[in-house]
């Protein structure tokens, strides 16, 4: 089975949708020009390499991360790709919200370029954008690492299906890395406030949903895009059903989207079920 291509498709499509919730003033983008803006941003991405706010750069035709965080939890390194808002300065006292997105190297210029386009018409709040990626750049290794980090439990069947060299089920460790290593690192190096968002697609969407039900207060914005909720007999969907017993109040916002690229795994049906479950629980503040 050819790996990764459908994951990349999901990731790129989801970016165009996600900016509607996490980083717009008052949490919503003015839809007046949304369609044209998104289309323009796709074209603009190819020309965004030297625009203001960019930190990551190319060396020998490879995207170079701004930081590499060595995890003490799983002994792996994670690369951070940072895009700063226009006017960001270490000399003032302004603090900014942070949007974290998964598959950092793959989507850096998509996020960075889209934000720049939206900023042209002041349609977007000033925000620090941080992509989280693996130190592995080869497609096979990238796929294997995200397969491990973003999956909530071990699935021998899925590992065999994709012939991965690493075992699935590393989401709990990756969540701990995110909470205890990556976020503190960003807070220590950038002028961030406690307004944080997380966005992921496909397996990254699964992890984002997992993060919501396991650590709902870690972020206050969640972008769950084309999530692989089919994982282990809809494991995360079942977790959410028991979630209200410990959480009656959620001061968060959730944006959910799904594409029709892989209807064979009931992605749309599972996403709707997850959203309906969230709504029916009547969380205060959601």
pLDDT in tens, 251-281: 889 999 887 665 666 888 888 899 988 888 7
Cβ-based neighbours of 96, under 8 Å, separated by 6 or more:
85, 88, 126, 127, 128, 190, 191, 192, 193
Distance CA 222, CA 23 (A): 11
Instruction: Collect the ranges in the chain with pLDDT lower than 70.
Output: 1-63, 135-138, 244-245, 260-265
Q: Where are the beta strands (DSSP E) in 212-261?
A: 221-225, 253-257
Count Cβ atoms within 10 A of the Cβ of residue 174 and give its class: 0-12 exposed, 13-18 middle, 19 or more buried.
buried
| Per-residue confidence (pLDDT) for residue 167, from 0 to 100 | 92
Average confidence score pLDDT of the chain: 78
pLDDT of residue 265: 67
Q: Note the pLDDT of residue 111.
A: 82
pTM of the model: 0.80
Question: Strand, helix or coil at 136?
Answer: coil
What domains appear along the chain, each with residue ranges and CATH number? 5-280 (3.40.50.1820)
Helix (H) or strand (E) holding 115: helix 104-120
């Amino acid at each position: 089975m050819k790996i990764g291509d459908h994951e990349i498709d999901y990731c790129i499509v989801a970016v165009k949708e996600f900016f509607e919730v996490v980083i717009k003033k008052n949490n919503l983008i003015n839809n007046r020009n949304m369609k044209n803006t998104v289309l323009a941003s796709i074209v603009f991405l190819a020309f965004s390499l030297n625009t203001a706010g960019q930190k990551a750069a190319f060396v020998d035709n490879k995207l170079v991360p701004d930081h590499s965080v060595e995890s003490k939890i799983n002994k792996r390194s994670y690369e951070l790709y940072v895009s700063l808002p226009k006017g960001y300065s270490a000399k003032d006292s302004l603090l900014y919200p942070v949007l974290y997105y998964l598959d950092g190297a793959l989507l850096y210029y998509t996020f960075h370029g889209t934000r720049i386009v939206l900023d042209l018409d002041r349609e977007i709040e000033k925000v620090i954008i941080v992509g989280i990626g693996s130190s592995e750049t080869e497609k096979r290794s990238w796929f294997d690492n995200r397969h491990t980090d973003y999956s909530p439990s071990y699935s021998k069947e899925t590992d065999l299906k994709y012939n991965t060299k690493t075992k699935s089920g590393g989401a709990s460790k990756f969540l701990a890395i995110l909470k205890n290593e990556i976020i503190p690192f960003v807070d220590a190096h950038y002028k961030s406030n406690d307004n944080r968002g997380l966005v992921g697609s496909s397996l990254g969407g699964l992890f984002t949903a997992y993060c919501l039900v396991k650590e709902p207060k870690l972020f206050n914005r969640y972008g769950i895009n084309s999530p692989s909720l089919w994982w282990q007999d809809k494991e995360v969907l079942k977790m959410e059903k028991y979630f209200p017993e410990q959480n009656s109040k959620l001061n968060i916002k959730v944006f959910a989207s799904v594409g029709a690229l892989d209807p064979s795994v009931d992605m749309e049906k599972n996403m709707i079920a997850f959203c309906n479950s969230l709504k029916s629980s009547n969380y205060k503040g959601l």
